[in-house]
């Protein structure tokens, strides 16, 4: 992914300047297509990278929750009492 960033910010501008200098001809439209293609590739590579990482992270979390030896059926259900108590305390502090 870093390589595409370098290509976009350093290599392509140098190539375009060199082309313009050597041939005395601007290729503005083509250069925009080139930048669009680089952006497209960068986006696709990022999505593939995130997809692969999310599969691994999901597996780690799933194994930690489902196969860690905890009997979730015997655990008490959350009541939300701590959260309610915290909110009441914050509300009182705002009044003061």
Element counts in the chain: helices (H) and strands (E): 4, 0
Is 1:49 a contact under the CB 8 Å cutoff?
Answer: yes
Cα separation, 34 vs 19, in Å, equals 14
Is 41:85 a contact under the CB 8 Å cutoff?
Answer: no
- In this predicted structure, what is the pLDDT of residue 81? 82
Is 5:42 a contact under the CB 8 Å cutoff?
Answer: yes
Q: What is the mean pLDDT of the chain?
A: 89
- The string of pLDDT tens digits covering residues 62-95 is 998 888 888 888 888 877 788 888 888 888 888 7
Could you tell me the pTM of the whole model?
A: 0.57
Mean pLDDT value across residues 13-18: 92
């Amino acid at each position: 992914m870093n390589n595409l960033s370098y290509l976009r910010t350093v290599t392509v501008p140098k190539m375009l300047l060199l082309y313009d200098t050597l041939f005395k001809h601007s290729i503005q439209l083509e250069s925009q297509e080139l930048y669009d293609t680089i952006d497209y590739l960068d986006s696709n590579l990022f999505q593939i990278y995130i997809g692969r990482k999310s599969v691994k992270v999901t597996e780690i979390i799933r194994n930690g929750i489902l196969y860690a030896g905890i009997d979730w059926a015997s655990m008490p259900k959350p009541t939300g009492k701590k959260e309610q108590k915290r909110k009441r305390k914050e509300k009182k502090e705002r009044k003061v």
